[in-house]
Amino acid sequence: MAQHEESGQSVKEYIRTRRVRPNELKKYIYIQRIGSFSDKQSEILDKTKKYMSLCFGVELKELKKVEEKSIPQSGQRIHPSWGVKQLYTKYLLANVLKKPKDALCLIGFTARDLYPDPDWNFVFGIARPRDSLGLWSIYRNGDPAESEAAYQTCLKRTIRVAIHEAGHLFSIKHCLAYTCVMNGSNSLEESDRKPLHFCPSCLYKLCGNLKINPQTRYAKLAKFCEENSFNIEAEFFRKLHEVKSKK
């Protein structure tokens, strides 16, 4: 908010917008891997898919992986000063991400760094809500093979961005109401401070739109967090589940 004007989005405003929601014809979140991933990175993506399905109550499907060698020179570059290979988001959005008919949205993941314009150094990812397309990179999430702590950080970052961007694809705008996974952020440091959960206002939007029962959702998320040693998050979700169950 220090650098970008943000207007927020009340629940009333959200309900008035044309929201993306599941129906008989469009009911799956599709994932598309682009390029190669290390074993640990693949594992992190598998876990992220699991978390997304629990968080949104929507079934995830995966399209056939796109090999990097099928991306032409016009879809990539070597960064002029860093010397690292980067993929061009404009090319990938226009030519690689092809949404199946029954897709609610399609999200591309890559382990390569991304750039949105030749004048830009890089971008973490990009969401195009009007086309229900998202694309993001796990390149800047750290090397999960480095240590147990690095693995945890990488997993949490990957999940956080996936949930935030998918929130946009379900028509939820940046949140100004509370500390929330839908808060905007302008750097990795700022993003790392965001929690994994939706605030009461965004959760109301999400559960109403996707017809999710928040109580069973909390129990599932708590279990996932316990299994992956996200101890603070596990306790948070467990407490919310218990509060709701006592009612």
* Residues 213, 215, 216: CA angle, nearest 5 degrees: 75
> Looking at beta carbons only, is 108 or 144 nearer to Zn ion?
108
Q: Are 175 and 206 in contact (CB under 8 A)?
A: no
CB of 4 to Zn ion, least distance (A): 10
> Smallest distance, Å, CB 173 to Zn ion?
8
Which runs of consecutive H residues, i.e. helices, occur in 57-147?
A: 89-91
Give me the least distance between CB of 76 and Zn ion, in Å please.
25
As a whole number of angstroms, the distance between CA 26 and CA 215 comes to 25
Active-site residue, selected from the candidate residues 165, 189, 233, 235: 165
Nearer to Zn ion, 22 or 134 (CB): 134
What is the DSSP pairing of strand 125-128 with strand 133-137?
Answer: antiparallel
Please report how the helices 148-169 and 39-56 are oriented relative to each other, as an axis angle in degrees rounded to 10: 40
**Toward Zn ion, which CB reaches closer, 151 or 218?**
218
Question: In which order are the strands placed within the sheet that holds 85-88?
Answer: 76-78, 85-88, 113-115
DSSP 8-state assignment for residue 123? B
Angle (nearest 5°) at CA 171 between 125 and 188: 30
Cβ at position 229, least distance to Zn ion in Å: 25
Residue 38 half-sphere exposure toward CB, CA atoms < 13 A: 12
Is residue 242 among the annotated active site residues? no
Of residues 105 and 182, the one with the C-beta less far from Zn ion: 182
For binding to Zn ion (CB under 5 A), which residues are involved? 175, 180, 182, 199, 202
Provide the annotated active-site residues: 165
